[in-house]
Copies of this chain bind each other. A is one copy, B any other.
Amino acid sequence: MVATNKFNKSPEASTFSLSAYLKERQKLCVTALDQAIPVIYPERIYEAMRYSLLAGGKRVRPILCLATCEMTGGTIDIAMPTACAVEMIHTMSLIHDDLPAMDNDDYRRGKLTNHKVYGEDVAILAGDGLLALAFEFVATQTPQQVPRERVLQVIARLGRALGAAGLVGGQVVDLESEGKSDTSLETLNFIHNHKTAALLEASVVCGGILTGASSQDVQRLSRYAQNIGLAFQIVDDILDITETQEQLGKTAGKDLKAQKVTYPSLWGLDESRSKAQELIEAACAELEPFGELAQPLKAIAHYIISRNH
């Protein structure tokens, strides 16, 4: 398998445009996600699933998955079902996190949250439906040229990233720490390593698993993703303090309001910014062996700390 994307070829490396790259990849991902869920009877559940899945968003996770697959010698086609699955899982976690019994948020990506539009019952089920589809989609849509053992490894990684050892475990500790002003750095790291980094890591690592990347390369990918995952969360915490609701498209200042311990509340804003920068540099260092092919993943890493929403 050879990389087929123009962005990966070194002659153009010096003119690499991240914004054009992201725009093209977002479009590919949205098209694939749109096609993944047709609206049939009972329409309401498919509409609710589509409402949140197609509500915008940066598509960071699926784009990371596609980019890693290409960097390690694969094509967009073999990674797209997995890319869709990570976005379905991410969306499901947002729908459930926004519920009144959890974070009780009314807005997400500038739009009403799922339960505000469809009701809590349908929102819970829409999350469950997306989750079920994520696994079914990888199992049925991954091209036959990918050895079946690799597809099973992808499913195992996704399940682990989502479950009690990942997203779900991070969210439980996050809920427990709410309103506590004495949350330790260790606990804060646990929350974000599980709530944010675990699925980012799975997105990146699965892109490599699909191409049969060596275990050494998988470990490099894993460290790259853990570093950008933590940087991503630090930046999220900073933005919650410095940006307005309009820029974020979701309720701003809610961490302060909830008396949540965050990285800026532990370290201050400046120290938080420099820690995020260090993490991004460490992440990029892991990609050195991949040479010019690593350019998109490196650019995405830098984008994470420069974003303002």
A155 in contact with B136 (CB, 8 Å): yes
By size class, the interface of chain A is 35 or more
Report B-chain residues with C-beta under 8 Å of the C-beta of A148.
147-149, 151-152
User: How far apart are the CA atoms of A96 and B173 in the complex, in Å?
Assistant: 20
Residue on B with the closest CB to A151? B152
What's the nearest-Cβ distance from chain B to residue A130, in Å?
A: 8
Q: Tell me how far the C-beta of A120 lies from the nearest C-beta in chain B, rounded to whole angstroms.
A: 4
**Are B164 and A139 in contact, with the CB atoms below 8 A?**
no
Q: When the two chains form their complex, are residues A44 and B132 in contact, meaning their CB atoms are under 8 A apart?
A: no
Instruction: Report chain B residues within 8 Å CB of A159.
Output: 132-137, 139
- A140 in the interface (beta carbon within 8 A): yes
Q: Is A124 part of the contact surface with B, judged by Cβ < 8 Å?
A: yes
On chain B, the residues within 8 Å of A136 by CB distance are 155-156, 158-160, 163
**Complex interface bits, A110-136 against B, C-beta within 8 A gives 1, otherwise 0:** 000000000111101101110111111
Using known A-B contacts A139-B155, A156-B139, determine if residue A172 contacts B99 with beta carbons closer than 8 Å. Answer: no
Inter-chain contacts of A121 with B (CB < 8 A): 101-102, 175
In contact, A96 and B172 (Cβ under 8 angstroms): no
Q: Is A168 an interface residue, CB under 8 A from the partner? A: yes
> What is the minimal beta-carbon distance from A51 to any residue of chain B, in angstroms?
13
Task: Assess whether A182 is interfacial by the CB under 8 Å rule.
Answer: no
In Å, the complex CA distance between A131 and B158 comes to 12
> How many angstroms between the C-alpha atoms of A160 and B138 in the bound complex?
12
C-alpha spacing A175/B124, complex, angstroms: 12
A49 CB within 8 Å of chain B: yes
Known A136-B156, A156-B136; judge A46-B164 contact (CB<8 A): yes
Kindly supply a per-residue 1/0 record for chain A positions 237-251, scoring 1 wherever the CB is within 8 Å of any chain B CB and 0 otherwise.
000000000000000
Check B45–A125 contact: CB distance below 8 A. Answer: no
A164 touches which of B133, B151, B162 (Cβ 8 Å): B133
Known A-B contacts: A46-B164, A96-B124. Give 7 more (CB < 8 A): A49-B164, A92-B128, A93-B128, A133-B164, A135-B155, A135-B158, A136-B155
Point out residues on A near B: beta carbons under 8 Å.
42, 44-46, 49, 92-93, 96, 99, 101-102, 119-122, 124-125, 127-129, 131-137, 139-140, 147-149, 151-153, 155-156, 158-160, 162-164, 166-169, 171-173, 175-176
